Structure 1
């Protein structure tokens, strides 16, 4: 069966601006696909969870597979608003984090439900956490956010592409913007997407190797 894979989400997939003469995730994937298959990029740099609904409206009728990577920009927004708040102790700080993440959890679940209405295989990505200069507080915050992503994915029986394990070297991140995949990081991500597309095993798998 000919596959038409749709890339949805943010600049993890729409990273052409950041790789210079290198290749984007989409370009890497298109080179890896069999001749009869193709991939369409609907992801948009800067997208947040709520804006992906506009991308869903553009999914072509011949789409066979969906891959989603979103949440990083929402995480940046949460960090800017949450990390500046005063807190008397660690317990209070964690309680504030939980309350702030309730909106993220609801929005992410609603997005997954909307995508599943297309009745197509859906794979989701975690948010990588080996970004150069990411501090310990930021890494802990991403751990909580990734817990929401993985719990939601496994609750719906979806495959997960774990970018935390995949993009674990400094060279995986773009020099001009270290929160974006580089040429090398993009190749890893595209290869892992290919591996997941080729898998014939039951769902609810974690893909973390290219």
Structure 2
């Protein structure tokens, strides 16, 4: 039996945001091949460093861990968007510090997952849907440094990648500026199901899933 385990944050643990509708893991079970199982280990509010604690609850028959994390790491740095600066170089220096810390945390997390020698996949962070268009624009730009870390790590290890930026591309996919709605969760569930069923993990080559 194949068993998908969802790790990370509220991108997967979105039950609180779907008004009683099915969350991502429930929808995922509907799309998986017959005989497959799916379990939610992700925790709403988790940061990258918290995934290692989720691994301690990993089911013994896990075959396909899927990781979606990093949005809360980015959110913790949101104050940077409101800080003043004397030059572009000063801004880039602060951003570089944030990037380096996230890269360190993400590498440590991914190393812990890969050490299990399972069929691992990862997700990018989608663009927040803030009502204020200028805030949305700045956040999307800032998130590129986090997504660069994630995509580089995926490609370095030959992992398949779900690009949530392309997948969740409509306001209806969001229950709030940063949480997936029922519709967004349905897209995510279908993408996870397609990845675990169709990707050739034996080749150890990255492939991007975006629909």
Structure 1 residues 169 and 150: CA distance shift in structure 2, 3 A: same
The aligned counterpart of 2:154 is: 153
Q: After TM superposition, what 4+ stretches of structure 1 lie above 6 angstroms from structure 2?
A: none
Partner Cα separation in structure 1 for residue 172 and residue 199 of structure 2: 31
CA RMSD of aligned residues (A): 1.3
Gaps of 5+ in 2: none
Decide which of 196, 200, 204 is 2:206's aligned counterpart: 204
Structure 1 residues 151 and 53: CA distance shift in structure 2, 3 A: same
Q: Secondary structure at the match of 1:88?
A: coil
1:113 Cα offset (Å): 0.4
| Residues 160, 199 of structure 2: 8 Å contact kept | no
Gaps of 5+ in 1: none
1:100 Cα offset (Å): 2.1
Partner Cα separation in structure 1 for residue 199 and residue 123 of structure 2: 19
C-alpha deviations, 1:122-178, integer Å up to 9, x for none? 11000001524352211110011101110111111111100000000010001xx33
Q: Is residue 2:94 matched to residue 1:96?
A: yes
1:5 Cα offset (Å): 0.4
The aligned counterpart of 2:144 is: 143
C-alpha deviations, 1:8-49, integer Å up to 9, x for none? 000000000100132211110011123311100000000001
Partner Cα separation in structure 2 for residue 30 and residue 196 of structure 1: 14
For residues 15-164 of structure 1, the aligned pairs below 5 Å read: 15-80=14-79, 82-129=80-127, 131-133=129-131, 134-164=135-165
Q: Is residue 2:186 matched to residue 1:184?
A: no
Q: Secondary structure at the match of 2:5?
A: strand
TM-score by length of 2: 0.93
Partner Cα separation in structure 2 for residue 95 and residue 135 of structure 1: 22
